[in-house]
Structures are given as C-alpha cells and as structure tokens.
Amino acid sequence: MSDRPAIHTERLTKHYGKVRALVDLNLDIPAGEVFGFLGPNGAGKTTAIRTMLDEIRPTAGRASIVGLDTHEKSVEIRRHIGYVPGDLAMYPNLTGRDTLTYFANLRGGVDWSYIGQLADRLHADLDKKVGDLSSGNRQKIGVIQAFMNKPQVLIMDEPSAGLDPLMQREFQKMMREAAAGGCTVFLSSHALSEVQRVADRVGIIRRGRLVAVETVSEIRSKAMRRVEFELDSRADASVFEAVAGVRDVTVANHRVALSLDGDMGPLLKAVASRYDIVDVSTQEADLEEVFLTYYRDKEVSA
C-alpha cells in the first residue's frame, strides 16, 4: 500500500460559462477507503467525477488518481480504475457479453472466470441485448464492467440506480470486499442509506462546494436521537423547546416527537415535572436525518 492518496484533488474548479458547477474541491482519499460523495441533484457530483475521468477539463485546479495527474496521465490512470457513469448508457444492440468483450478487448484482456463470478453474484443476464434489459439489469452490466479488471480505484456515479434491495445489498458487499482488498471506492450517491452502510467517510457537496467531510462514525456520534413521548395530557411544545439540545419538536395531542442532541437527563426531568409519562421511546438518528438536518441548517444560514 502506498502512502500517496488514491484520489487527490486540489482546488478543482469547473465553470460552464457563468455556471459554477464545481468550486475549489479539495479531497484526499487514501487507498482502501470507501468514500461516499453525497449531495442533492445538480450539486456538482457528476461534474467532479467527469473531471477526474478527463471527460471534461477543469477551469482551475488539478486532480490526481493513484498519484498520476488526471489529465496528463489519463490513459495510464484508466488502466487502474473501474468506472460506472451516472445515468448509464450502453450500446443497445450489443448483448451484455458483447459489451464486456468489447471493453475487455480495449483493455487488452480480462479474466473471464471472474466476470462469470460477478455475473453470478448479481444474477446478470449476459446474453440479452442491453437495449432489451430493464434499467436495473442494465446497471448490473455496467457494474460488472467496472469491477471486471479488478481496479485499484472504483469511481461510481449513482451505481445502484435501479437495482432491487437484494441486489443493492450484494453490490454493497462487493464494494466492501473490494475495499478490504485495498481498492478505493469513490461512491457518488444520494441514497443515504447505502452510503451509511458502506462508506468510511462522507463528503457532502452542495451547489458545487464541498461543505463537509466527516467519517460516518463522527457523524453518528454527533447525531441526535429521535425521542418520542406519550403523555397523560395534551402537551405544550414550549416546555420541550426550553430544554437545551432539543429541536424539531412536533406535537400531536398527547404525543411529542423531538430530536435531542445531548443528555437525556434534563429532558426527562423537565418533562416529568409537568406530565405523567405514559411511554417513551428513543432511537438513534440515521444518516438521512443528519443529512437533512444539516442541509436545513445550512439553508437557513445561507
């Protein structure tokens, strides 16, 4: 394992005329990491990826993959990567096998027994024409294509689009296994549950700017809990909002739901002093909730 980052970007910027699709993106992703690249539609995820692949050229800044400049050494880089483009399109008249053969020939050969294993794992039909496949089954061909040369870096733009939940699980396992073998996975997604399950770190991009990079466990530790009370009488929101760390209070008659960032003690004391608690339940917030909260806050402050 080398100590240079698998993916490195330096003030990477792309403008389309007046549109600032990507602004000063700085990333350092070490080998063997699964990096989740999160953001809403149109945030600049695909622009960043297309720049790394040398499909488009940065307006400013630079990027390197496995230590090689993405523009100068793009051909050499592509020997070591697997790529699933967003909104995947392939040759409709070719079968899956033809498609893979075509790319295998351009790569100078691949291990077909490995392709067979991948196809088995994903239940992919290689003998149908790509144009006749459903979008999920077409996506499987794209995924096999990315994995087939056992790349050092996998760059995938919304790769699980159209896959059913079972296949998504299998695909996530494949990503984890690849990472365990030293492969770096750059996973662009808005499927937060997926990123939560596979990623080591998460970068959040919004309007072309990277707004945060954190490990999933960090986010979790910061994460608030969802707490729900059932009370003996009609609740008053102000009682809950007065407690430090409480927010997003919703009151529905006897039921109160809120987010809590901090200790449970003060909240329980405050509530117990006013009401009889019939029931209380609490659960750890998932990434989705953190994410949405994060965005809501930024939106307000922006």
How many C-beta atoms lie closer than 10 Å to residue 299's C-beta?
9
- Should residue 114 be labelled a site residue for another protein when binding is judged by CB under 8 A? no
293 binds another protein per the rule CB under 8 A: no
Instruction: Tell whether residue 42 is a contact of another protein (CB under 8 A).
Output: no
Determine if 107 is a binding residue for another protein (CB under 8 A).
yes
User: How far apart are the C-alpha atoms of 198 and 187, rounded to whole Å?
Assistant: 9
DSSP 3-state assignment of 38? strand
Residue closer to another protein by CB (options 81, 198) is 81
Does 76 interact with another protein (rule: CB under 8 A)? yes
Please identify, using beta-carbon distances, which residue of 125 and 230 lies nearer to another protein.
125
Other CB atoms within 10 A of residue 78 CB? 18
CA distances from 215 to 29, 46, 198, 200 (A): 12, 22, 12, 6
Apex 66 CA angle, 62 and 67, nearest 5? 55
Q: Does 79 bind another protein (CB under 8 A)?
A: yes
> Is residue 85 a contact residue for another protein (CB under 8 A)?
yes
Q: Which is nearer to another protein, 90 or 227 (CB)?
A: 90
Decide if residue 295 touches another protein (CB under 8 A). Answer: no
Rg (CA), the chain: 23
Instruction: Tell me the window of 1-9, 49-57, 204-212, 248-256 that interacts with another protein (CB under 8 A).
Output: 49-57
Rounded distance, CA 158 to CA 86, Å?
A: 6
Using the contact rule CB under 8 A, the part of the chain among 97-105, 159-167, 194-202, 225-233 near another protein is 97-105
- Is 97 a residue that touches another protein (CB under 8 A)? yes
Q: CA neighbours within 13 Å on the CB side: how many for 44?
A: 23
Q: Residues 117-156: x/- map of binding to another protein (CB under 8 A)?
A: ------------x-xx---------x--x-----------
Measured distance CA(276)–CA(69) in Å, rounded: 65
Q: In 3-state terms, the chain is what percent helix, strand and coil (to 5)?
A: 35, 30, 30
CB 124 within 8 A of CB 140: yes
**C-alpha closest to that of 162 among 48, 92, 84:** 84
Q: Which of 87, 120, 276, 299 binds another protein (CB under 8 A)?
A: 87
Binding segment for another protein (CB under 8 A), chosen from 83-91, 201-209, 237-245, 269-277, is: 83-91
CA angle 195, 166, 154 (to 5 degrees): 45
Window of 51-59, 113-121, 252-260, 272-280 that interacts with another protein by CB under 8 A: 51-59
User: Which residues would be at the binding site for another protein (CB under 8 A)?
Assistant: 46, 50, 53-57, 75-79, 81-83, 85, 87-95, 97-99, 101-103, 105-107, 129, 131-132, 142, 145
